[in-house]
Structure 1
Amino acid sequence: MLPLKNASFLQAGIGLTANTFLLLSRILTLFLGHRPKPHDLLTGNLALVHILMLLTMLFLSPGPFESLRLQNDVKCKALFYLSRVMRGLSICTTCLLSMLQAVTISPSSSWLGQFKQKSRGYTIHSLLFLWILCLSFSSNLLLFTVAASNVTQTQELSFGKYCSLSSARYLRWSLFFRLIQVRDVSFVGGMLFSSVYMVTLLFRHQRRSQHLHNMSLSPSISPEKRATQIILLLVSFFVVMYWVDLVISSISIMLVAYGPVILGVQTLVLHAYATVSPLVIIIFDKRIISTLQNMQQKAHRFLSK
């Protein structure tokens, strides 16, 4: 159990650092006078969501926060509710990011190409809608979550040392979790569909370019190919982690048992995407390096005055 605990703290440390760096880079891009792209709003929102996800994981895990004594229904309700809302927002934002990429690379003559000029307004409105959707959709969790010390062992489904789900309303919360799964699967399906659509467009564009240039390709990686790599890597990793978590959750609900080992493994799987995704975005985003260079130049000018 100790290796799993150490691994979760290491994961949280890496994830918090990477997401904080990504969020600050998006904020600095805005304050340095650059007009943010719709993708910047989504990746910044994704970084914020993942920061909150990882923080709630730390507060729900025993260890450094042992002195907080979370044997309180209100604290457990708030933390578990926040963790599920952020998880839903992570799925929804990734799906929206994938769909926005599909709109961006669509031909102007296609029906998706008509939304290119309005993508900024649609992105902001969609983000607000997703926040309202996830906040309201998970509100039933406030009824099911209780402190572990307030129920007996036969009346609870523990998901941590301090907090549990009361099994007194087993049918209600099991139905609720099924509805959450339907929502998540729908967004994952939209994510996969838009990703396949993008890969198909880029593949056709690459074949057309090869034909026009007599099969001569530039040795440098094109922006389209780089975008394809980001999408495939993020979506593939997310889908794998999502289905692994779904299998673990389904088995645990059927057995009505969350052992410490199962809980530790699921925690690592659940937050793997929150840790890896900002690293992928940072590595492939050259504008972050440009932003840091501009900051350095402005700081040098300020100090030289």
Structure 2
Amino acid sequence: MAASDVAVGIIFLLQTVVGTLGNSSLLLHYLVLYFTGCRVRHTDLILQHLIVANLLALLCRGVPQTVAAFGVKGFLNDFGCKLLFYLQRVGRGVSIGSTCLLSVFQAIKISPENSSCSELKVKAPKYIGFCIYLSWILYLLVSIMIISQMTGKRSNNNITSMKDFGYCSAVHPDKILQSLYVALLTFPDALCVGLMLWASSSMVLILYRHKQRMQHIHKISSLRSSPESRATKTILILVSNFVFFYTLSCIFQVCVIVIYNPHWLLVKMAAIVSGGFPALSPFLLMRRDSSAYRLGLSWIRNRKNPDFRRNV
């Protein structure tokens, strides 16, 4: 086994283990809140689906990549390859949709009462569940196209007719089908990224205007130190990291698709970058405050008051 394969395997292993632990701890946090009867925020529902999507994308890509990097060959058949790539694509898509919905909802939530979004502030919470499940359905349907392309890795395949992913292979599709597939995947992704950039710009502008207004009228309390401000800044950091990793991932993915027989290092780098956001995002969400403290505080207050609504 080459040293380069071992190094890549260690990177995949660390990324998968750290990301899985981070997402699992957050998911456990929300499960404890649910079973203790706490009424959670509207954004927490979005975050729960984001965590599940991150776990799906991490495990379906990271585990087989790690196993293949450490020299295990032929451990997946055709069905296994189709299923793993399908679930990984669904997880990646729902992660994009959830991050987009989170940023748009937060931008509406902190918008001024006299803005054009004032009516949406009342209606938006009612449609969160619908938008999340619509995202799942959309990417479950769009990702079906990848099933026909993926197959198990076989040593007797003509290398010019197959694209090697290390543990699975992909049949070079017809140019028309490939264009259709790229268009179907690119359109919802581009729409989500555009909405995220709009929402992020709106949040930055709202925070800046509020800060200027508070300084002008010499008030001590401001949105900057409020829970909503902290949540907004956390979401801005989350979105900026998503856009960074998504842009890099798109560059690598385009190179893998365009190049007929891409180098194995390019394929591995595309996989590593693709797993960057799912592995990092739970720790960005945790930085706002201590999860352990929130769990304990929520549980104690809920015992005292069943109708407690979290404000942190």
Q: TM-score, normalised to structure 1's length? A: 0.88
- Once residues 227 and 212 of structure 2 are traced to their aligned partners in structure 1, the CA distance between those partners, rounded to angstroms, is 15
Root-mean-square deviation over aligned CA pairs: 2.6
Q: For residue 45 of structure 1, what is the aligned residue in structure 2?
A: 49
Partner of residue 153, structure 1: 159
Match of 2:90 among 85, 91, 94: 85
CA contact under 8 A between 1:157 and 1:165: conserved in structure 2? yes
Q: Deviations over 1:85-126 (max 9, x none)?
A: 110111110000000101111123333222333333211111
2:27 to 16, 19, 23: 23
Q: Say if 1:145 and 1:163, in contact at 8 Å, map to a contact too.
A: yes
Q: How does 1:135-214 map onto structure 2 within 5 Å? A: 135-149=140-154, 151-159=157-165, 161-213=166-218
Q: How does 1:275-294 map to 2 (within 5 A)?
A: 275-285=279-289, 289-293=293-297
- Indicate the larger mover: 66-75 or 85-94: 66-75
Contact persistence 2:22–2:279 (CA under 8 A): yes
Q: Distance in 2 between matches of 1:194 and 1:81?
A: 29
- CA displacement 1:179-224 (0-9 Å, x = unmatched): 312321111110010110111111111111111116x678x84435
Any conservation in 2 of the 1:38–1:119 contact (CA below 8 Å)? Answer: no
CA contact (8 A) 1:5 1:264 kept: no
Helix, strand or coil at the partner of 2:114: coil
Q: What is the match of residue 302 of structure 1?
A: none
The match for 2:308 is none
Contact 1:156 1:165 in 2 (8 A): yes
Residue 177 of structure 2 aligns to a residue in which SS? helix
Q: Which amino acid aligns with 2:255?
A: I
Q: Once structures 1 and 2 are overlaid, which stretch shifts more, 111-120 or 97-106?
A: 111-120
1:130 alignment counterpart: 135
User: Aligned in 2, Cα 1:110/1:287: closer, same or farther, shift over 3 Å?
Assistant: farther
Please say if residues 73 and 167 of structure 2, whose CA atoms lie closer than 8 Å, have aligned partners that are also in contact: no
Question: Which residue is equivalent to 1:250?
Answer: 254
Partner of 1:33: 37
CA distance in 1 between counterparts of 2:115 and 2:301 reads: 43
Match of residue 262, structure 1, among 266, 280, 286: 266
Stretches of structure 1 lacking an aligned partner (at least 5 in a row): 300-305
| 1:101-116 alignment runs, 5 A limit | 101-116=106-121
Do the aligned residues in 2 keep the contact of 1:15 with 1:276 (CA within 8 Å)? yes
Tell me the distance in 1 between the aligned counterparts of 2:179 and 2:260.
Answer: 11
Could you tell which deviates more after superposition, 54-63 or 73-82? Answer: 54-63
**Structure 1 residue 31, shift from structure 2 partner:** 1.7
Contact kept, 8 Å, 2:50 with 2:95, in 1: the verdict is: yes
Q: 1:66 to 1:32 in 2, by over 3 A?
A: farther
Stretches (4+) displaced over 6 A = 64-68, 296-299
> Structure 2 unaligned runs (5+)?
304-312
Residues 125 and 163 (structure 1 numbering): CA distance in 2 closer, same or farther, change over 3 Å? same
Deviates more, 1:186-195 or 1:141-150: 141-150
Aligned twin of 2:58: 54
Pair 1:98-2:103 in alignment: yes
49-58 vs 173-182, which deviates more? Answer: 173-182
Aligned-partner Cα distance in 2 for 1:287–1:249: 35
**Identity over aligned pairs, percent:** 32
Instruction: Give the C-alpha shift of residue 293 in structure 1.
Output: 4.6
Change (3 A) 1:141 1:210: same
Structure 1 residue 128: Cα displacement: 0.9
Q: CA deviation at 1:294?
A: 5.2
Distance 1:217 1:3 in 2: 51
